[in-house]
Chains A and B, each alone.
Chain A
């Protein structure tokens, strides 16, 4: 089955700086890679996703890149703000169909004022 590794487990950055979280996956059949943000006491919220037919996707301050050859994908947050502090999860699955997502262990992002 699929295995997703996520690094780092904790990331502390100064407000205004950029943050990068990296994930690798094992199943070459995976072609859908979402990122979730989870705040304390809440469920995971989908913030951006990327599909295997593109290499990069951007939404305002958030971008995701995908390297299918190397089987890794990354989340980039620019101009970080205090409200970006949360736990971020990457995930992967084979896309179409009602398949469960395989998640990484999460990254606790701390934005220092």
Chain B
């Protein structure tokens, strides 16, 4: 596996279900991100993890719960979602150093449909 991988690629869930999205980066990076991509809207940052510590929560509802057990893996736990949460969820990673710029590399995304 190379780059950033995400599983599953497609997910259909009911509003009462609990599911998790998984992201893994094989680039040796130390920061990971969740973005949401909805139709006709810009990509929206949801969460940032730097060295496994959450450094940003962009006013995301509590029905989305991130987890970063190590610098290579990132999860997004979902529960009691709403139909408007249907979107493409993208994971990205970057290597953060004192002198670097934030080149972020994205996975293919999980297409989520909430019924």
* Contacts A97-B96, A98-B50; A89 near B106 (Cβ below 8 A): no
Q: Which of A4, A49, A96, A103 contacts B98 (CB 8 A)?
A: A96
B90 within 8 A of A: yes
Interface size grouping (class) on chain B: 20 to 34
A95 and B48 within 8 A (CB): no
Complex interface residues of chain B between 10 and 55 (CB less than 8 A to chain A): 31, 33, 35, 40-43, 45, 48-50, 55
B4 within 8 A of A: yes
Residues 84-112 of chain A: 1 if any B CB is under 8 Å from the residue's CB, otherwise 0? Answer: 00000101010111111111111000000
Give Cα A67–Cα B50 distance, bound, in whole angstroms.
31
Give Cα A43–Cα B97 distance, bound, in whole angstroms.
24
Residues 90-115 of chain B: 1 if any A CB is under 8 Å from the residue's CB, otherwise 0? Answer: 10001011111111111111000000
A29 within 8 A of B: no
* Contacts A4-B42, A43-B4; A101 near B106 (Cβ below 8 A): no
A99 and B102 within 8 A (CB): yes
Q: Can you list 27 residue pairs at the A/B interface with Cβ under 8 Å? A: A32-B101, A34-B104, A36-B106, A42-B109, A43-B6, A43-B90, A43-B106, A43-B107, A43-B109, A44-B90, A46-B105, A49-B101, A49-B103, A51-B101, A95-B101, A96-B96, A96-B98, A96-B101, A97-B50, A98-B94, A98-B102, A99-B56, A100-B56, A101-B104, A103-B43, A105-B41, A106-B42
| A contact residues vs B (CB 8 Å cutoff) | 4, 32, 34, 36, 41-46, 49, 51, 89, 91, 93, 95-106
